[in-house]
Amino acid sequence: MTGEELFLSECSGQTKNTNYKTGTYITTFTGKQFYPLHPDVNDIDIKDIAHALSNCCRWVGHVSQFYSVAQHSVLVSYLCEPKNALCGLLHDASEAYLSDMARPIKYTESMEGYRDIEAGLEKVIAEKYSLPYPLPKDVKYADDMLLIAEGYQLFKPPLSWVFDKLKAAGLEKPLVTLDGCWIPAVAKAKFIMRFMELNGVKLGIPEPEEIKEMGGC
């Protein structure tokens, strides 16, 4: 069976011995059956988002040490205008369900379908948390500022394009400094605590058993 045939089989619910709503599902950290092709706002869970993003490494893992999407998201939330801080925290939340994809691949013509799926999921997440869609400009600006800081601090030597960006801005170093690199358990806890701070929802932080499972101690 070709890749296309397998995809069509999976998405049409024709795979044997499997019950599908529409398309296939992934099983989340909290045990939900989540359908990325047809996301339901009721299936979006901040605990799943925090957990998955804390285990997902930025830059497709090609960094000097593990640096999670969750940490990136927390830092972006502090660089945004206060009114858009929650949007900054959740700007990459779709990656909790789709994972991250390298930019040289993501923005090619052949990935148009993927970008449509991502956009659909982002809209559902925005609906869930009453966020603006698409992203406010200051969130994108904060994301880009942190991208430069990451390219400067997480690669040895720093990436060449970072120096071009800095020179164009009349800077010697990025304006932002990373707060070290957090292990997954710490990134998850800080992500949830930041969400609580911004949203007032009491969700708690990881239990000791969860931290052990995530390799935090």
Query: By C-alpha distance, which of 114, 113, 76, 78 is closest to 95?
Result: 114
**Residue 164's pLDDT is what?**
96
- Block means of pLDDT (10 residues each) for the chain, 217 residues, are 59 48 80 92 96 97 96 97 97 95 89 92 96 95 96 96 94 91 96 90 54 46
Characterize the bridge pairing of strands 26-27 and 33-34: antiparallel
DSSP secondary structure letters along 69-95: HHHHHHHHHHHS-GGGHHHHHTTTTTH
pLDDT of residue 179: 81
CATH classification for the domain delimited by 26-136+183-213, as one of 1.10.3210.10, 3.20.20.190, 1.25.40.10, 3.40.50.1000: 1.10.3210.10
Residue pointed to by tokens 């009349």: 170
Q: What is the pLDDT of residue 206?
A: 53
pLDDT at 195: 94
- The domain spans of the chain are 26-136+183-213
pTM for the complete prediction? Answer: 0.83
CB 146 within 8 A of CB 79: yes
Q: What is the pLDDT of residues 22-78, one digit of tens each?
A: 567 899 999 999 999 899 999 999 999 999 999 999 999 999 999 999 999 999 999
Surface-to-core class of residue 208, CB atoms within 10 Å of its CB (0-12 exposed, 13-18 middle, 19+ buried): exposed
Phi, psi at residue 34, to the nearest 5°? -110, 130
Amino acid code (one letter) for 12: S
